[in-house]
Amino acid sequence: MLTRRSMLAGTAALAAAGPSLAQRRAAASSWFDRAIVIDALGAVGDPYGSPDSIRMSDRAWAETVATGVTVVRQTLMPVGNVADAWGDYKKSREELREVLAANPDRMLLIRSGADILKAKREKKFGVILGTQDTSMVGGALDRLAEMRKDGVMTVQLTYNNRGLSGDGALEPGNAGLSKLGKATIERIEAEKILLDISHGGARTMAEATAHAKRPLVNSHTAARSLYDHPRNTSDETIKAVADKGGVTGVYFMPFLRADSQPTGEDLIRHIEHVAKVAGEDGVGIGTDNGVLPMEITEESRKQNREWANQRIKAGIASPGEGPEVFPIVADYNSVDRYRRLAGVLEKRGWSQSRLEKLFGGNFLRVYREAWGG
């Protein structure tokens, strides 16, 4: 369960901006500073403030601004089949509500596409609320209307295990989408919430995409044809999401290669593959990290072990996760990682318009279609 502090702090201690950050920013193309940059699955963090404070510290704010990110999608808990999923959801929503209320000059709750443009214009950090499961909904579909009023703008159908909506990525039976799952998708779309199929089993993702009537997203994944991992997605589903007008986001996670130690080259290989399969309008970034980088210290190693062991014990850890595995791409574990990645892709021949789509334009298009504005 996330606390107010851990929600703001992210998953571990975060690194400070390096001394050469200003030089690296100056060398980057100016288009990045003007662009809408969206991390479709991440988290806002502050390791520097008091443990009892939910007001973002000046240092954390300065580094968040330095990332260049306009908007992040923040997860409301829970995930998985817990005893009181609806109660856990309400607690998580209240904790984040308090964080936003403590930072009105720095954070903006996103409820429309226009709000994303407002966040950029007012130099605020936009926060999109979403879930990574429908366990808090179950068969009570009217809860989706209440969640929409709460400001929940995206709902992920399943997490890693089997739920009432369908099988998650780790279910060996791969049974696919349930009848309730189909009804849940219909209600999600009726409430003008964006459907997310991440973490789904292969059949669940394919069947959910086929059943959807509106554009949808697969916010954080990678290409299964490059590395056959259950959290990655087949080319067929990547293309099917794109054909529905949706977007697949590539994550900065260990699941990009077999040894759980992906390099920057691995990340770029998956991005370019998804772009090839989905087209330049169907690819984006969903790091599944905190917006700020992770500092590798003895304390962060301890926190990572505890977090990984909790996931293993709960039965929600994916293959490749472990107490000594950090959920990052080490080559892009820096404050300026989004900017540096853009620079590398630019050198590989990506045009400015294509980069603008990858780093936020594609997700912005789908968000505006789903929510208006």
**Three-state DSSP string of 162-182:** CCCCECECCCCCCCCECHHHH
Chain centroid to CA 73: 6
Q: How confident is the model over 31-53, as a mean pLDDT? A: 92
In which residue are the tokens 């504005």 written?
373
State the pLDDT at residue 29.
53
Structure tokens at 188: 């999600």
Domain ranges, residue 326: 4-371
- Polymer length in residues for the chain: 373
3-class state of residue 248 by DSSP: strand
Number of C-alpha atoms within 13 angstroms, CB side, residue 13? 12
The mean pLDDT of 118-144, rounded to a whole number, is 98
319 pLDDT above the threshold of 80: yes
**What's the CA angle centered on 13, arms 341 and 364, to 5 degrees?**
40
The torsion angles phi and psi of 97, rounded to 5 degrees, stand at -60, -40
At residue 373, the pLDDT reads 84
At residue 30 the predicted structure's pLDDT band, cuts being 50, 70 and 90, is confident
Lowest mean pLDDT among 2-6, 259-263, 283-287: 2-6
- The answer to whether 20 and 345 have CB atoms below 8 angstroms apart is no
Q: How confident is the model at residue 45 (pLDDT cuts 50, 70, 90)?
A: confident
Instruction: Report whether 42 contacts 74 (CB < 8 A).
Output: yes
pLDDT of residue 55: 96
Q: Flag whether pLDDT at 4 surpasses 60.
A: no
81-99 per-position pLDDT tens digit: 999 999 999 999 999 999 9
Q: pLDDT band at residue 293, thresholds of 50, 70 and 90?
A: very high
Q: What is the pTM of this model?
A: 0.93
Residue pair 238/198 in contact (Cβ under 8 Å)? The answer is no
**SS3 (DSSP) at 191:** coil
CA distance linking residue 130 with residue 326, whole number of Å: 24
The answer to whether the beta carbons of residues 130 and 73 sit under 8 Å apart is: yes
Torsion of CA 264, 328, 104, 151, to 10 degrees: 100
> What average pLDDT does range 131-135 have in this prediction?
98
Distance CA 143, CA 162 (A): 20
Alpha carbon distance 207, 209 (integer Å): 5
Place of tokens 């989004």: 338
Rounded distance, CA 355 to CA 268, Å?
A: 13
Of the candidates 227, 223, 226, the one whose C-alpha atom is nearest the C-alpha of residue 320 is 227
- 72: alpha, beta or left? (left if phi > 0; alpha if psi -120 to 50): beta
What integer pLDDT is reported at residue 19 of this predicted model? 37
Least confident of 109-118, 188-197, 243-252, 292-301: 292-301
Res. 193 pLDDT band, cuts 50 70 90: very high
Q: Indicate which CATH number applies to the domain containing 105.
A: 3.20.20.140
Q: Is the pLDDT of residue 17 over 50?
A: no
State residue 112's pLDDT score: 98
pLDDT digits (tens, 9 = 90+) for 199-218: 999 999 999 999 999 999 99
The whole-number pLDDT of residue 52 equals 84
Q: Is the pLDDT of residue 14 over 50?
A: no
**Burial class, 351, CB count within 10 angstroms (exposed 0-12 / middle 13-18 / buried 19+):** exposed
Six-digit token string for 342: 């853009």
Res 143: pLDDT = 98
| Signed CA dihedral, 367, 371, 372, 373: sign only | negative
* pLDDT beyond 90 at 10: no
Average pLDDT taken over every residue of the chain: 92
In angstroms, rounded to a whole number, what is the distance separating the alpha carbons of residues 23 and 180?
A: 53
Q: What is the pLDDT, as a whole number, of residue 47? A: 81
CB 248 within 8 A of CB 284: yes
φ and ψ at residue 250, rounded to 5 degrees: -95, 135
Residues 259-273 have a mean pLDDT of 97
Once rounded to an integer, what is the mean pLDDT over residues 31-54?
92
Mean pLDDT calculated for residue range 336-342: 97
The pLDDT score that the predictor gives to residue 133 is 98
Query: How many separate domains does the chain show?
Result: 1
